[in-house]
Amino acid sequence: MSPSTNEETEQNLVEANLKTDEEAVKLPSRKPQDDVVDWDGPDDPQNPLNWSNTKSFGHVVIVAVLSMVVNIASTMVAPAMAGVSRDLEITDMTLATLAVSIYLLGFALGPLVISSLSEMYGRLIVYHTFNTIFVIFVIACALSQTTAQFLVFRFISGCAGAAPLSLGGGTIADVIPIEKRGAAAALFGLGPLLGPVLGPVIGGFVAQGKGWRWTFWVVAIVGGAAGIGTLIFMRETHPNTLLERKAARLRRTTGNPHLRSKLDRGLTNQQIIVAALVRPTKLLIFSPIVLGMSIYVALIFGLLYLLFATFSMVFEGQYGFTTGTSGLAYLGLGIGELVGLVVFGILSDRILKAKMAADNVQVPKPEYRLVLMMWFPPVIGLGLFIYGWTAYYKVHWMAPIFGTSIVGFGSFFVIMPSQLYLVDLFGSEAAASALGANILLRSMFGAFLPLAGSHMYAALNYGWGNTLLGFLALAFAPVPIFFYRYGEWLRSRTTVKL
């Protein structure tokens, strides 16, 4: 064979190899979609949405109990503030009110960290960790010796106590299908509404019998028991975390490093933290729905905490209640909220299904959640008018308490439907951010609006002061009507990229 022939053969082999390499590049052996890890079909038992009713609602009950405990802690010391002020030498009325409301400032800021940690590590470990921190700093409040210690420890306990509030809505979205969330959300909603009412009722008698420090010991004991229950019975529900764990397990067993969760967004921990800090603010700025609903809820929440902070002053000053019996004045709000809960549980999901049938749709629109919010909240103003003027004229103490029960009833239909609306609107993934924005604003109002209570009543008296609050509540009553009519149109034009 001639040299030229050998050279031609080698050249042909090189060209053939190059062609094979090019074809290998053009025709990959593995399709990208083969590397995506998802649930094993729509009935996968590992998907929390497919859990049994007992297991699903068991998780809702756990979250509701945690929410109840941290909300009881927000006001349990309120009837005992005279004792706190005496022992810690607090002489300024505004500072004494801040000692109660600074806890809510923790509620406002805690979710900014909590939501990012839950996205990185899952919801379960965050529940465990922050409940432990909550109990530790509640105990620290009981042991406080100075005003500064008390304020700092109370703030930190509020930050930690925000965990079930900021994650609870997402947990419900994880385990309960959208058409069944009404009852679950109502149960979860008992915490923010009924907790601040039960707190002073219990705290008043505890403080009168054992002293104000025992109000914190009681919360620590109950919070510790709830934490143990959570440790035993609760499981991870966050779908992103569960699918990521499944992908990691398959990467180990198959040796395929390319496998990834369907819900993996490819973000680093730093990007997740930044997103969690920015998301609530971003929603408040760029989503008129989140902003409008959050302002309305924040106003009502602030009004409730203004009442919580001043009930002792009103009923001890006008009716001669003792520290123990002044806590009973909070029961009017609680009774109204319980009636609201019953009405909500009966009507919520029925209205949802009726609206779906009327509109002939298979997937409910989030705006259906606003129907009850349009009907009942206007009575808040009426309740405030009754409360203010009957207290001013010292009508029998049952009259102002009846007025507050109307306030409690109407308030339930502001706070609960708004939470459901945001959860349905943003789904499991972004619900934590939407609720975080809601909690941020409402907790800020709850922390600072009560500081104006004593000054407002001193300037306007109980009658005109509560009349002003009533007109403020009525001014925002059209908000759900507007979003019911134009919410879908707004959503189509104001998409917020999270």
Assess whether 214 and 297 both reside in one domain. no
Residue 114 inside a domain? The answer is yes
Assess whether 360 and 454 both reside in one domain. yes
Mean per-residue pLDDT, 350-369: 86
Q: State which of 10-19, 125-134, 170-179 shows the largest mean pLDDT.
A: 125-134
CATH code for the domain of 309: 1.20.1250.20
Residue 385 inside a domain? The answer is yes
**Which residues make Cβ contacts (< 8 Å) with residue 247, sequence separation at least 6?**
37, 259, 260, 261, 264
Yes or no: say if 470 and 384 are a contact pair by the CB < 8 Å rule. Answer: yes
CA torsion through residues 413, 417, 422, 428, sign: positive
Assess whether 331 and 479 both reside in one domain. yes
Domain residue limits at 443: 267-497
Assess whether 276 and 391 both reside in one domain. yes
Residue range 117-158, pLDDT digits in tens: 888 888 999 999 999 999 999 999 999 999 999 999 999 999
Assess whether 219 and 352 both reside in one domain. no
Residue range 419-473, pLDDT digits in tens: 888 878 876 566 667 777 888 888 889 888 888 888 899 899 999 999 999 999 9
pLDDT category at 255 given cuts 50, 70, 90 is confident
Assess whether 225 and 296 both reside in one domain. no
Yes or no: say if 328 and 201 are a contact pair by the CB < 8 Å rule. Answer: yes
pLDDT category at 391 given cuts 50, 70, 90 is very high
Per-residue pLDDT, 430: 66
Per-residue pLDDT, 208: 87
Assess whether 227 and 348 both reside in one domain. no
Total domain count for the chain? 2
CA torsion through residues 202, 440, 122, 424, sign: positive
Assess whether 368 and 473 both reside in one domain. yes
Residue 479 inside a domain? The answer is yes
Amino acid at 65: V
Q: pTM, whole model, 2 decimals?
A: 0.78
Structure tokens, 128: 């465990």
d(C-alpha 439, C-alpha 216), whole Å: 24
Yes or no: say if 387 and 202 are a contact pair by the CB < 8 Å rule. Answer: no
Q: Which of 371, 374, 493 is nearest to 424 (CA)?
A: 371
Assess whether 371 and 411 both reside in one domain. yes
Assess whether 196 and 280 both reside in one domain. no
CA-CA-CA-CA torsion for 315, 316, 321, 322, nearest 10 degrees?
140
Assess whether 112 and 203 both reside in one domain. yes
Ramachandran bin of 201, using left for φ above 0, alpha for ψ from -120 to 50, beta for the remaining angles? alpha
Residue 83 inside a domain? The answer is yes
Flag the least confident range among 146-160, 218-232, 389-403, 447-461.
Answer: 447-461
Yes or no: say if 190 and 33 are a contact pair by the CB < 8 Å rule. Answer: no
Yes or no: say if 230 and 62 are a contact pair by the CB < 8 Å rule. Answer: yes
Q: State which of 24-33, 73-82, 174-183 shows the largest mean pLDDT.
A: 73-82
Q: What angle do CA 210, 72, 193 make, to 5 degrees?
A: 145
d(C-alpha 434, C-alpha 200), whole Å: 30
Yes or no: say if 239 and 47 are a contact pair by the CB < 8 Å rule. Answer: yes
Residue range 16-42, pLDDT digits in tens: 443 444 443 444 445 555 678 778 888
Residue 207 inside a domain? The answer is yes
Assess whether 395 and 286 both reside in one domain. yes
pLDDT category at 496 given cuts 50, 70, 90 is low
State the chain's mean pLDDT as an integer. 85
d(C-alpha 307, C-alpha 278), whole Å: 32
